[in-house]
Structure formats: structure tokens, C-alpha cells
Amino acid sequence: MSNWNKRIRAAREAQKMTREMVVQKMQQFLPESEKAVSTRSLMSWEAGEREPRVTVGVALAKALGFEDVAVLYLDSEPKLNQAGQQRLGEYRSMLLHTAAFTEKPEPTLRLLPVYLQPASAGTGQWLDDDAQEMTEVDESVPTKAEFGVRIAGDSMEPRFVNGQTVWVKAAQDANNGDIVLCTLNDQGYCKKLRKDENGIALISLNKKYAPIPVREEDEFRIAGIVVG
């Protein structure tokens, strides 16, 4: 016969915890739907009169300092019947679906170049193709990104702020509405591209900046499309 109820009481008394203290500590591990656990509930578990539900049992084990729930509820050489095996499976399933009890995979990292000279989200700055550093990035950076550029200025706020790194896919052309990294007369810009019957213009997201028209005599080149 299992002695799990005796182990509950022994663990509580060994830590000099009252039933009120145990129930109070359980609250941090219980879902909202189970917050009504009381000292009367704990008394009935210790007496072996009732068994806690799966989520409550896990919270009780953690409140008593047991990281391995099985240590508290299973005898050293358990022989589970079909109902016991089903209950054990329920505990396992619940634990596997609870973030606090599952291992998190290591993030996938990769190296991308980031240009040290910022592209302007303001008046325009030169983009130096040679000054760059390799930066380790995680999965939050889109897989299609090929390099990064730091933003200088506030003309692309609120989407991009001063000092933020934007991630870019190399491209020589872009569609109307794309956010592009480009050079205009040797000045580097990060702007929204507008193409219409009036020609090409570089648009700031911050309304206090006027559009920058691209004239026929200008030297204009798209270096990439911002993807993140």
C-alpha cells in the first residue's frame, strides 16, 4: 500500500511548516482555477482520505521542496495497476505541457555582418562598405536577412528608432512601399520607397520630414530591403 500521504505529512513536519504555510506556498504554483485549496484539503490528503488532482498534487510537491514529483507520490518499488499507470501518465502529460518543467532548446545562432557607419533615418550619412563587424544573432532575426545597419536619426520613428539595428536582404531593386537601404548622391538612407507617376521619392515615417525626391541627374542605388 502506498504511503504517499504519510510522506506529505513527514515532509511538512521536517520543514517545520504549518498546514497554513504549505497552502500559502502552493498558491504560487497553482493555476487560477485551483486557488481554492484549503488547509482542510491538506488535512484530508495527509489522512489518506482523498487524493489531490494532478495540478494540485504538483503544486503541493513543489511547495514541500520536491522537484521530482514521483519521489513524493510513488513508493521506492511501485507496482502500479492500470488506474495508477493512467494517473502517472496524466502527471507526465501535465508536466510536459508546463513551461516551468520542460527543457528549452538552445537558440540557433548565426553570424551576420553589421555596418559600423549608420544609415541615416534623418538627413543622410555615408554608408562605408568596408567598416563592418560580425555579430552573433538568434532566431529573432529573419532568416532572409544578410546584413545589419544601425539607424541614425528619428525620421523612421516610430517603427525604427535612433541607434536601432535594422536587418537587410541585399537587393538592387524594390517595390513601391518597401523599406529600403539606399544611397543617394553618396549619402546612405533608410527610407520607405515610393514609386508612382511622379517618379521615385524616399519617404520618412516621421511626418515632420518631407519626402526626398530622386531626380534624373541624381546617383541613386538600392542596396537592400529591410526585413526586420
Query: Are 63 and 157 contained in the same domain?
Result: no
Give the model confidence (pLDDT) of 27-70 as tens digits.
988 887 778 888 999 999 888 888 888 788 888 888 888 876 66
Count how many domains the chain has: 2
Query: Are 116 and 195 contained in the same domain?
Result: yes
The model carries a pTM of 0.52
Query: Are 79 and 118 contained in the same domain?
Result: no
CATH value at residue 124: 2.10.109.10
pLDDT band at 126 (very low <50, low <70, confident <90, very high): very low
Query: Are 222 and 131 contained in the same domain?
Result: yes
Q: CA 31 → CA 73, 137, 180, 219, distances in Å?
A: 20, 35, 47, 62
Give the model confidence (pLDDT) of 140-168 as tens digits.
899 999 988 888 888 899 999 988 889 99
Per DSSP bridges, beta strands 147-152 and 132-137 are unpaired
What range defines the domain where residue 189 resides? 110-226
Query: Are 135 and 92 contained in the same domain?
Result: no
Query: Are 132 and 66 contained in the same domain?
Result: no
The residue out of 46, 78, 101 marking a domain boundary is 101
Alpha-carbon 199 to chain mean position: 41
